[in-house]
Chain A
């Protein structure tokens, strides 16, 4: 297990490094500087600004300073919000996005696993077809369509829930969480159904039944653990998806989270903000992929043996 963790972590480091470098040079390669829009800027002011953001240094020095700042956890100042650092902006938005992501994940795993397991208990009956057709609808309904539709139905026509905001009025967290989680609930339902079906036909479950265990114990204690493995492996990629999904959901519901900052930074060409947020989000995603690999390996010993033999 430790060998697995060590090797996997070593693999993740170059990935993070590539992400940071590619982002840095992409942003620097962008045509037009960040201060081009401000027509009234005199050459002196411009030079001062460039010096302040270290744009006057040669490229490789900028890169090295950026890396060394990064190692100390400093993502630099924001172009667009003078006097504020990227760190500040990220940590202002992060708790909100994290909360949204947490609720969405709750929706996704809760509804997804429940639907998948229910479907798998009686395959090829109505109990299977109904949740699985709903899952297909969930997969084909992107969040930017589902969100506005939910707002239209529950927020405007029925007037049950607030149409936007986060933590300002009662129940305003419900629609964004469902919007963000729905598609992942659908995938998780499909994954857990097929995982459970595969496990259900195995010998050790027949043994468990033969011992006279009640069906509930067979399903919950014996089948779930193995049957939900694919779901655990999927949580890493799902986390990445939730993060980018938050861009859209936060825009629709006007939630002041990290995702909306990122999209706004993209429109404002706030390069340091884009660079900092990309680095931050990318690292987060790589770390979460790593964690979901660890959990999957912990649950399934075969995975880690396969890994150590391959090396």
Chain B
């Protein structure tokens, strides 16, 4: 991940009829066809996942043992698995868990990373040096191995999965936010807030963070696919989501077992995961270009 050198957000409130940063970004984003396609796919996936219990013709655990595994047909668009369960339903329900893990773990990372980074950047000096050195040390830790360890030691529970993944992803967030806050700290409106006698906490959360929201949103969008990959990786190894719950990673790992006879059980969950990751990455890239035109592409 590269350092994001965003320009200091423009003085938007001062220009009553001007174009706000957000409107400006939206105009630029709309011109980016790949990003809009990504957004479209994402919205579709999200709506499907949310509405799944009402619109899916089959139940998630509804078995038809007599039917068994059948290739895609008009009754079962993505075929059925070895228990005769409808694959489309299972893929959509798996998506609920995958997306939920992606969003919640990113939210954890966001909460910790933004608070930590903003405090370090705002307080500066020795506090900042110590806080960032700590981040450096954490950065060097091989977290993938630790997450596996955590899942082994404390059992495979969903809450822990959120915490563990969130604990890895907050570091980059903290670094980005700190850099941004350092540049905003020098601004007159922060000095004005200080001279009004506001507490540091109020200044950080009310005046500083809202002004560095752009890079935070961009990075959060790009964190979600990473988190989803991590969850799928763990679930594939059998260390993540446990049955009867399901996620795309788990469906893929089931699909691998029977891929010789029933390749569609591997291909469709894989396609769903890859397509969603694709959409998220393109949307995130587009969002970065739109909100932060100066940032480099990589």
Contacts and interface: CB of A to CB of B under 8 A. Distances in A.
Contacts of A27: 149, 153
Contacts of B252: 144-145, 148
Interface stretch (B59-67, B97-105, B120-128, B273-281): B273-281
B249 interface: yes
A278 interface: yes
Interface stretch (A53-61, A207-215, A244-252, A297-305): A244-252
Given A248-B233, A285-B142, A11 B136 contact: yes
Contacts of B249: 144
Contact of B281 (A14, A26, A139, A191): A139
A22 B150 CA distance: 11
B237 A274 contact: no
B32 to A, nearest CB: 14
Contact of A140 (B142, B278, B298): B278
A88 B148 CA distance: 22
Interface residues of A, number: 52
Nearest to A12: B140
Given A139-B281, A286-B140, A251 B266 contact: no
A267 B238 contact: yes
B277 A140 contact: yes
Given A190-B298, A248-B237, A240 B150 contact: no
B274 A144 contact: no
A259 to B, nearest CB: 10
A141 B153 contact: no
Interface in B239-298: 239, 249, 252-253, 255-256, 259-260, 263, 266-267, 270, 273-274, 277-278, 281-282, 296-298
A289 interface: yes
A152 B152 contact: no
A140 B144 CA distance: 18
Nearest to B151: A266
A111 interface: no
Interface string B134-152: 0011001110111011111
B269 to A, nearest CB: 9
B137 A19 contact: no
Given A14-B137, A190-B298, A263 B153 contact: no
Interface string A38-64: 000000000000000000000000000
Contacts of B238: 267
B144 A240 contact: yes
B274 A19 contact: no
A15 B141 contact: yes
B236 interface: yes
A156 interface: yes
A263 B148 CA distance: 9
Given A251-B237, A267-B238, A156 B273 contact: no
A80 interface: no
Contact of B237 (A29, A148, A243, A247): A247
B298 A141 contact: no
Interface band, chain B:
35 or more
Contacts of A247: 148, 237
A18 B141 contact: yes
B119 interface: no
Given A139-B281, A278-B145, A281-B145, A144 B153 contact: no
B278 A136 contact: yes
Contacts of B145: 244, 262, 278, 281-282, 285
Contacts of B225: 140
Interface string A217-254: 00000000000001000000000110110011001100
Nearest to A30: B153
A209 B187 CA distance: 44
A272 interface: no
Nearest to A16: B140
Interface of B: 136-137, 140-142, 144-146, 148-155, 225, 229, 232-233, 236-239, 249, 252-253, 255-256, 259-260, 263, 266-267, 270, 273-274, 277-278, 281-282, 296-298
Which 5 pairs between the two chains have the least Cβ-Cβ distance? A244-B144, A30-B153, A140-B277, A194-B298, A144-B236
Given A144-B253, A149-B266, A286-B140, 18 more contacts: A11-B136, A12-B140, A15-B141, A22-B146, A26-B153, A136-B281, A137-B274, A137-B278, A140-B277, A144-B252, A144-B256, A145-B273, A148-B259, A148-B266, A148-B270, A149-B267, A190-B298, A263-B148
13 contacts: A15-B137, A26-B150, A136-B278, A136-B281, A148-B256, A149-B266, A152-B259, A194-B298, A230-B298, A241-B144, A247-B148, A278-B145, A282-B142
